[in-house]
Structure 1
Amino acid sequence: MKRDELVFIGLLFAFFAFMLFNSTGLQEVRRFGEMGSGFWPILVLALALLLSGLLLGSSLYRYRKEKGPRPPAPDAPGEGGEERRARRKKFALTVIFLLLYVLILPFLGFLPSTVAYVFAFIWALGERRRAVLAFSPILVTAIVLLVFVKFLSIPLPKGVGIFADLSRLFY
């Protein structure tokens, strides 16, 4: 565990704490038995704060454990240029796929765009197992559709033309 990783996790924890503190002031008008508009931000931020706190605690524990006396390591080669290029290529591909997803989402709608995006994203990260490439995009899209459309009643982009008709079949 490197020190800069600890600093980043600490900043993340502080950010979520700050946002949670500020979200408690959200004005909400609600009827009896209904969740107000401030419920979901507070819930998500509290969960993010809890998880980042757990991550910070485990990272501090690992950092202190690694910092103890260690035998000198043999000459370990640093990160090679090929590894760095491969990581940069993965990063560039994921950014390109995300931008394409944002651009095609209004035209194709949520369903086909998300299936294609999840497929492209996991492929760019190096997944090559056919079963994972085939079922993950469908499963992830179905879960997101269930949560946002059915449980939260949040409308998602339907697309244009035939894609709008396809979207209406599912949501």
Structure 2
Amino acid sequence: MNHFIKEFRYSGFSFSEATEPSELNSAIGSLAINFSVLEDELSSAVICLLGTEIEEGLAVTSEMSFKSKLNVFSSLMKKKLEFGGYAYSPSDFRDLLAMCAKSEGFRNRLLHSAWVHDHAKKEIRRRKLSAKLSKGFRHDEEPLTPGQVLDIADYIIYTAVSLEEFIMNCFPEFKRPLESIVYA
């Protein structure tokens, strides 16, 4: 007798539908979706700076990590900013890069964690276990509310909008290859 279902199938319902909706799950979902918007904006920025055809640019960026895209974007844009003539200063650009890096750090910190639902304390805690050569074994926990996770999701989408604004102001002729909102 086979006890496990090894193949995935869409069923149209889920166990979570039989229980109360989780504000934390919703907040983490918002964070993940907002980060994907930021990553698409970064891919668009790299494609713009490379000056390639959209499909060629997407072929390059689709296999790059977020950090690699950020490094390439930074390297290419720094060259352009050296010549001036843009609406933004190198300081503005450094701030934008820092926001992108901070957004990735938030995303990694929350999505690569386990979650403790402490009914006694009536709180939810993010748990991170790690074993590193330099620090040894670490067990970190921090209480987080769904509202705090949504604050982080808002920061990430603000970063995505800021990146889009930066590229559109520097290169007004550029057409975004990846739309995250399609209007009727």
| Structure having the higher Rg | 1
TM-score range, shorter chain: under 0.3
Q: Which has the higher contact order (CA 8 A, sep 6+)?
A: 2
TM-score normalized by the length of structure 1? 0.27
Greater helix share, 1 or 2? 1
Greater strand share, 1 or 2? 2
TM-score normalized by the length of structure 2? 0.26
